[in-house]
């Protein structure tokens, strides 16, 4: 998933996330950054909330705080709703 605003400088970056299922039932995922470094582990519900927030479908204060922590490079390996 790449999150990037449509406006701004042509060489602007974005946030790149790789979501990888971690359990056979696909109810948990590991979230990796572009460098394939583990950023967080979360439930499928949390991942859905993050995707909906990042894509602009539904604001989530939890997802906003999560993204701020990632942006500020604070440790966020386990996040709960």
Number of H helices, E strands in the chain: 2, 5
d(CA 56, CA 54): 5
pLDDT in tens, 17-69: 788 998 788 899 998 877 888 888 999 999 999 888 877 888 899 888 888 88
| Residue recorded with tokens 């449509």 | 6
Query: Domain residues of the chain, as ranges?
Result: 15-71
Distance from chain centroid for Cα 70: 8
Q: Which residue has the higher pLDDT, 57 or 71?
A: 57
pLDDT of residue 43: 92
Confidence band of 81 (pLDDT split at 50, 70, 90): very low
């Amino acid at each position: 998933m790449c999150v990037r605003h449509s406006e701004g400088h042509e060489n602007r970056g974005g946030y790149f996330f790789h979501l990888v299922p971690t359990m056979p039932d696909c109810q948990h995922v590991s979230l990796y950054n572009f460098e394939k470094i583990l950023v967080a582990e979360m439930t499928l519900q949390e991942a859905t909330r993050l995707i909906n927030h990042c894509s602009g479908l539904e604001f989530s204060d939890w997802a906003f705080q999560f993204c701020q922590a990632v942006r500020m490079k604070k440790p966020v390996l386990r996040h709960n709703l």
